[in-house]
Amino acid sequence: MLSRNQNLFTALIAGSVGAAGGYYFRGCQSSKSCHQKDIGLTGVDPAIQQKIEDAYKKLQAHPECKSLLKKHLTKDVVEKLKDRKTPMGATLYDVIRSGVYNLDAGVGVYAPDYDSYKVFAALFDPIIQEYHGFGPKDKQPPVDLGEGKTKEFPPLDPEGKYIISTR
């Protein structure tokens, strides 16, 4: 059995943890991060913005580059996104760097973190739409795992020469 001092200490620790959790969640709800629509932050370092401009010029100047990045990274998109970053600090340069260094890439973009898809949606959405044929307003189709359709498949080894057992 715990003594009175141990009970007080335990209550103090539990209260501190609860208060910290409440502060975290309250702060999360009032900040521009977490699960709100506009989670992008501004204030990208001017040197990084210059790298983005230089990368755009290099990409557009390369005549043999056929990537989706080159197609969808327009001057308007650069201007819209060059000063934005995710809550984790990812910038447009982080998204496009691989496609600029690997000009033979088919797609040319990477999402450095989860929030990149929203913060840089002006670039990601058209690329995903063209590559996968699936846009932000499309709905995921219902799951079909083939239940009840196994009888539609022909026997794989009707003579029993090759398959001993399956699971």
Q: What is the pLDDT of residue 6?
A: 57
149: how many CB neighbours lie within 10 A of its CB? 9
Rounded to an integer, the average pLDDT of 79-89 is 97
Give the start-to-end residue ranges of the domains of the chain.
1-30, 41-132
Q: For residue 10, what pLDDT band results from cuts at 50, 70 and 90?
A: low
pTM above 0.85, yes or no: no
* Amino acid making up residue 118: K
Q: What is the pLDDT of residue 110?
A: 97
According to DSSP, residue 91 is labeled B
The first and second tokens of residue 58, run together, are 């290099």
Give the architecture-level CATH label for domain 41-132: Orthogonal Bundle (1.10)
Rounded to an integer, the average pLDDT of 139-155 is 85
127: how many CB neighbours lie within 10 A of its CB? 20
Top-ranked range on mean pLDDT: pick from 9-23, 108-122, 139-153: 108-122
